[in-house]
Amino acid sequence: MESRAKLFGHALHQMLVVFPLGLLVMAFIFDGIALATRNGDWHQAAFWMIGAGLISGLLAAVPGIIDWVAIPIGTRAKSIGLFHGLGNIALIVLFTVAWLLRKSQLSPQEPGAMALAIEVVAVGLGVITAWLGGELVDRLGVGVDPGANLNAPNSLSGLTATETTESAAVTPSPSYPSRRS
């Protein structure tokens, strides 16, 4: 199923989701470094990364919702997408609570045990929702161009995934099944 929210021929959700994933996971790692080194500067960096991760997560959700709405009802992809989306909403809520707990402290350099515990749960949930996202794209083909194949032309060429520059100029392109190993 081809993505409905694209930029230069590529699905926006898959492009944007790397930001919240990277920022929120790195915040978790930075908090771990802070605990190991007893250096609060790492906690402070994690605090700001969580804020950026929350903003980018909300931005990534918009094209994700657009694509989910386009998935046919009654399909496995629709239900997997629902769990993926709801899980990510829960993840954003958990990180928001952790961020607000940290903000209420006298200093973001001392987040408190509750905020850190919530982060652990949120990252665990993130592993599950990221796997579900991979299932949607890699196994169910959500956000993948019809006819995608290993020799498809560049998305900026204006050709479909099954066309070549020669076939587009001479004859209509045949429809080849994609090869997956």
Mean pLDDT of the chain: 87
* pLDDT tens-digit map of 56-100: 999 999 999 999 999 999 999 999 999 999 999 999 999 999 999
- Tell me how many helices (H) and strands (E) the chain has: 6, 2
pLDDT surpassing 90 at residue 4: no
pLDDT surpassing 80 at residue 180: no
pLDDT at site 181: 47
Compute the C-alpha angle 119/121/127, nearest 5°: 100
Residues 6 or more apart in contact with residue 33 via CB below 8 angstroms: 39, 42
* Ramachandran category for residue 72: left, alpha or beta (phi over 0 → left; psi -120 to 50 → alpha): beta
Backbone angles phi, psi at 65, to 5 degrees: -65, -40
Compute the C-alpha angle 84/162/152, nearest 5°: 75
pLDDT surpassing 60 at residue 162: yes
CB 163 within 8 A of CB 145: no
pLDDT at site 172: 52
Provide the pLDDT confidence category of residue 108 given band limits of 50, 70 and 90.
confident
Q: Is 74 helix (H, G, I), strand (E, B) or coil?
A: coil
* pLDDT tens-digit map of 124-161: 999 999 999 999 998 898 888 887 888 888 888 888 87
